[in-house]
Amino acid sequence: MKALAFALLGLRRFFRERTNLFFVVLMPFLMIFMMGLMFGGTSQVRLGVSGATGEPLAARLVASLGADDDVEVVRVGSRDDLVSRVERGELHAGLAIPAGYDTTLRAGGRVTLQQITRPGDIAGLTAGALIASVVPKEAAPIKAAGFAAAQGAGTFDETYRAALGSAVPGLDVKVTTTGEAVMPHGAAGFGIWAPPLLLLYTFMTALIAGVGTVENRRLGVTRRAYSTPTSAGSIVLGETLGKLVITLAQGLTVMLGSALLFGVDWGSPPGAAALVVAFILVGAGAATLLGSLMRTEAQAVSVAVILGLGLGGLGGTAVPLESFSDTMRTVAHVTPHAWAYDAFTRLVRHGAGLADILPTVALLTAAAIALFTLGAWHMHRALTR
Amino acid sequence: MPVLEVDNITKLYGESVAVDTLSFTIDQGETYGLLGPNGAGKTTAISMIVGVLDRDAGQVRVGGRPHSPADRRSKALIGYVPQDLALYHDISARENLRFFTKLYGMSRAAAAREIERVLEAVGLADRADDAVRTYSGGMARRLNIAIGLLHRPKLLILDEPTVGVDPQSRNAILASVRELAGEGVAILYTTHYMEEAERLCDRIGILDGGRLRAEGTRRELVGLVGEHDQVVFKVEGDPAHAVPVLEAAPGVGRVQRVEGEDGEVVAFVADARAAMTELMAAVAAGGVAVRSVEVREPDLEAVFLHLTGRALRD
């Protein structure tokens, strides 16, 4: 109850400060937005197609282009419109099919397709590669049908149907992965970067929140509170509880907001929530210890930033753990970030659930309890010696 | 039974002795002053008594029960007003008070009642909802005291509560302390202002270098060093005429004519206030025309100097 009094007063004072409102409410959304711009959105290539509407051979070509899951084909009215939309970035690439596509091909003539992309656009190049692979496949039966018809084997339609129905052996390349893929199919962009950024940000916020504890000690409020019938444990718990709520709100806002606004997949919701709560508890525990050890706010802020960035960097939030050497990966696991990183990897990339990451959640919770206990003990010592 | 019993409490910081076997008691309604210069060990002693600092030796009993930093029941009997303004400056006086009522475990109704009472008592009722950062130093000091009074403590401990306060607020604080003592609250008051200790305290302990050098009422302390009260008469005509008249009066130790002062004669007595009636009767009977009478009591500055060999404000 007394801890709650501390927590509620801390929250009231925190939210009364407008700059704090910015950092707690607006900052996470800005962060989500930035993440969304950097890593979010769809990985599908938007390919515009113009011309030859109603021509069966052209329709078949367009259908083949759209058969790939990674390509979204958008029909556009005219070539000029297609160029304009590619220029504006609405489409990654365009394919202009000339009028009379079917008639010319049926007559054994040559048709020139026009590919439109912006220079240096990676998605445009991807679309180009797709067009370069699909067009020859579509052209092969047309060429065969034209040849057969010219040899008197039947009409173009008959020979074309026959060509489509014939099974011509080809060369297939099949890729398989043995063991557990570090980056399974579909793992890309936000799904990889959002969890480490969340870990870096929330741990830093929790540590910075510990500065308030130092301020209360400097003001003498903590010692005065200890002169009342209030235990050191209640004071420490109360000091931490408010900050914990703030950091948790931030973390969960980032997760929920990024999922809703940018479709970020955080894996199993119970697993992700349990992991974030356990990780933030570690941050809050570290903040408690920091608040009991430091003498001035400036000292506490400096140490918080150094610790936040240092542990974050070592724990794989700046450079992915996968790129670390084996030795460095082992060393990295002295940080809570590395443990949480591994657990998030399993949740997000490999579809693990809460039960699968429970040992990590338990480990982080134990670390949090140890840090809280140490912080409370040192706070008591700092107050009474 | 004393409300506070301090028995040989000691605090060491390495080789340095901050408080050395300090002992005293305070009864209900009594105001006890710990007088000493800065660095004498007053705040360290107070912190041990309040229970926010561990003792290296000695015992403290509050309301008859042993008191320690972990003892929350005896802490509930103490109201503590630290030297620092230990309050939140970015919220209002009322919010500060409400927070501390929760730490004292008061019910919502009791808290509301006591908050209004202490706000009235320290004269902050009309500014109760303003942020403390908008307060003057004196107002913030008064709020600092109000927090210590919230739960109607049996023992109020004030550590230099008037430091940096304007004269008006200082008088208001001293008046409040006297009023509380009148209501039966035992008060421990530390100060390095001699006048405050003299005006306010029933008994005074002189602390220097962590040790209690002497203890007693102001009169007892003054008596320790053989000082006397002085009754200064300014008389019409020849002051030499007044000297034998005063020497003959009961209770007068000696009489001195002050050289260079126009018609001034000083009578040295043990207790000026007690002797005043008889002195006035004696001069009237002796036909001495008195223009004015002034009582000069020996102060604690002289006592401190006598006990420690240095001035209180050194």
Q: Do B75 and A227 touch (CB under 8 A)?
A: yes
Which of B51, B90, B103 is facing A225, going by the closest CB pair?
A: B103
- Nearest Cα residue in chain A from B90: A13
Listed residue (A258, A252, A339) closest to A41, CA to CA: A258
Residues B231-250 have a mean pLDDT of: 88
What number of C-beta contacts closer than 8 Å exist between A and B?
A: 76
- CB under 8 Å, gap of 24 or more: what pairs does A112-117 form? A114/A79, A116/A48, A116/A82, A116/A83, A116/A86, A117/A86, A117/A92, A117/A93
Q: How far is B1 from chain A (nearest CA, A)?
A: 23
How many Å lie between the alpha carbon of B84 and the closest alpha carbon of chain A?
7
Residues in B touching A231 (Cβ below 8 Å): 70, 72
Distance from the A11 Cα atom to the nearest Cα atom in chain B, whole angstroms: 12
Q: What is the pTM of this model?
A: 0.70
pLDDT single digits (tens) B109-147: 999 999 999 999 888 999 999 999 999 888 999 999 999
* Contact residues on chain A for B75, CB-CB shorter than 8 A: 227-229
Residue at A375: amino acid letter: G
Chain B interface mutation, best of A217, A228, A230, highest count of B Cβ atoms under 10 Å: A228
**What are the backbone dihedrals phi and psi of residue B65, each rounded to the nearest 5 degrees, phi first?**
-110, 145
- Interface touch B73/A229, C-beta < 8 Å: yes
CB within 8 Å: B84 and A220 = yes
For chain A, what is the mean pLDDT? Answer: 85
pLDDT (tens digit per residue) in B221-238: 888 767 678 888 998 888
Query: What pLDDT, on the 0 to 100 scale, is given for residue A36?
Result: 63
Tell me what pLDDT residue A69 has.
78
Closest-CA residue of chain A to B91: A13
Closest residue in B to A231 (Cα) is B70
Residues of A engaging B, defined by a Cβ cutoff of 8 Å: 1-2, 5, 9, 12-13, 16-17, 219-221, 223-231, 383-385
Closest chain A CA to residue B49: A227
Choose among A12, A221, A384: nearest Cβ to B52: A384
Residue of B nearest to A234 (CA): B103
Which two three-digit tokens encode residue B35? 């007088």
- Nearest-by-CA chain B residue for A220: B86
State the average pLDDT over residues A273-301: 91
A123 pLDDT above the threshold of 80: no
Residue of chain A whose alpha carbon sits nearest to that of B145: A224
- CB nearest to B103's CB, from A5, A219, A384: A5
**pLDDT over threshold 60, residue B68:** yes
d(Cα A380, Cα A235) in Å, to the nearest integer?
9
pLDDT reading at B16 higher than 60: yes
A153-209 pLDDT tens trace: 888 888 998 888 876 666 666 666 666 655 555 555 566 677 888 898 889 888 888
Q: For the residues A48-75, what does the mean pLDDT come to?
A: 89
ipTM value, please give it: 0.80
A383–B105 C-beta distance less than 8 A: no
Q: Do the Cβ atoms of B157 and B75 come closer than 8 Å?
A: no
User: A8: nearest CA in chain B?
Assistant: B99
d(CA A231, CA B69): 9
Q: In what order do the strands lie in the sheet with B65-66?
A: B16-26, B4-13, B57-62, B65-66
Cβ neighbours of A19 in B, within 8 Å: none
Residue of A20, A227, A384 to mutate, testing the B interface (most B Cβ within 10 Å of its Cβ): A227
- Flag whether pLDDT at A100 surpasses 70: yes
CA distance B82 to B99: 17
Q: Collapsing DSSP states into helix, strand and coil, what is residue B183?
A: coil
Q: How confident is the model at residue A352 (pLDDT cuts 50, 70, 90)?
A: confident
State pLDDT tens for residues B178-200: 988 999 999 999 988 888 888 89
Of B54, B73, B103, the CB nearest to A2: B103
Q: Is the pLDDT of residue A113 over 90?
A: yes
Instruction: Please answer yes or no on whether B52 and A223 come within 8 Å at the CB atom.
Output: yes
Per-residue confidence (pLDDT) for residue A101, from 0 to 100 = 92
Contacts of B92 in chain A (CB under 8 A): none
CA distances to A15, A317, A323, A329 from A326, in Å:
44, 17, 9, 5
Residue A17 has pLDDT above 90, yes or no: no
Round the average pLDDT of chain B to a whole number and report it. Answer: 89
Tell me the shortest Cα–Cα distance from A228 to chain B, in angstroms. 6
Share of chain A above pLDDT 90, in %: 31
- B103 to A229: CB separation less than 8 angstroms, yes or no: yes
Instruction: Report CB contact under 8 Å: A220, B104.
Output: no
In DSSP terms, B9 is beta-bridged to B22
Closest partner residue to B103 (CB to CB) among A13, A17, A228 is A228
CB atoms within 10 A of CB A11: 16
Contacts of B163 (CB under 8 A, 6+ apart): B83
Nearest to A224 among B53, B54, B82 (CB): B82
Using a CB-CB distance cutoff of 8 angstroms, which residues of chain B are in contact with residue A2? 102-103, 105
Among A106-120, A222-236, A284-298, B291-305, which stretch is predicted with the lowest mean pLDDT? Answer: B291-305
**Which residues from chain B sit within 8 angstroms of residue A241, using beta carbons?**
none
8 A C-beta contact, residue A39 and residue A86:
no
Within 10 angstroms of residue B48's Cβ, the number of other Cβ atoms is: 27
Residues of A in contact with B104 (CB under 8 A): 228-229
A129 close to A44: Cβ distance less than 8 angstroms: no
**Which pair of structure tokens corresponds to residue A258?**
């990024």
Residue A151 burial (C-beta neighbours within 10 Å; 0-12, 13-18, 19+): exposed
Question: How far from A327 is each of A200, A321, A330, B196, CA to CA, in Å?
Answer: 22, 11, 5, 70
Q: A318: helix, coil or strand? A: coil
A191-195, A216-220, B202-206: lowest mean pLDDT where? A191-195
Cα separation, A67 vs A65, whole angstroms: 6
Residue A222: name the closest of A295, A155, A317, A271 by CA: A295
CB contacts, 8 Å: B73 with chain A: 229
Q: Which residue has the higher pLDDT, A90 or A23?
A: A90
Question: What is the pLDDT at residue A94?
Answer: 93
pLDDT digit string, tens, across residues A362-371: 999 999 999 9
Rounded to the nearest 5°, which phi and psi values hold at B268? -95, 120
Question: Residue B9: its pLDDT value, please?
Answer: 96
